[in-house]
Amino acid sequence: MKSDFPSFTVRNLALAFVALTLFGCGGKGYRLTDVSGTITLDGKPLPNASVTFIPVGDGVGPASTAITDESGNFQLRTIDLDLSGATLGDHRVTVTTARASSADEMAKISKELVPPKYRDGSFRLTVKADSSNAVNIEMLSKSK
């Protein structure tokens, strides 16, 4: 017996996924663009730092995050959809090296190396559609 419902193929699902990615869910709509870069502290790469971009103002869409590699490099991915990039617009940017060693040992937090300006959300960057969005965050420690 033939069904009256259209058959959904992998192609149809892929097209739906792309449409949701480009236009957002629930009619809110936002655009993503690739964002990568390097984080240094006192001129040296900062490995294992967590960087987060949080849209502000008219920015609609998910926050994006990454962990730097041994060379201080990162590539942002959205938090909720795990897609490459960040939303266009203004962002609060936070960087931190402090992490709990485990969920059961919240008191044991790794040493924070990042100056307060980059942890408290006062550092801002704009992600634009017409640029390469290569972000180099060059920080100086408190003692410098």
Residues 95-131: pLDDT tens digits?
A: 999 876 655 554 555 678 898 889 988 999 999 887 6
Domain of residue 63 covers 30-139
How does DSSP classify residue 22?
Answer: H
User: 67 CB contacts (<8 Å, ≥6 apart)?
Assistant: 48, 49, 50, 51, 74
Does 4 map to a domain? no
pLDDT of res. 60: 74
Whole-model pTM above 0.75? no
Provide the number of structural domains found in the chain.
1
pLDDT digits (tens, 9 = 90+) for 28-45: 578 899 999 999 999 999
Query: In terms of DSSP bridges, do strands 73-75 and 134-139 run parallel, antiparallel, or are they unpaired?
Result: unpaired
Does 16 map to a domain? no
CB atoms within 10 A of CB 87: 23
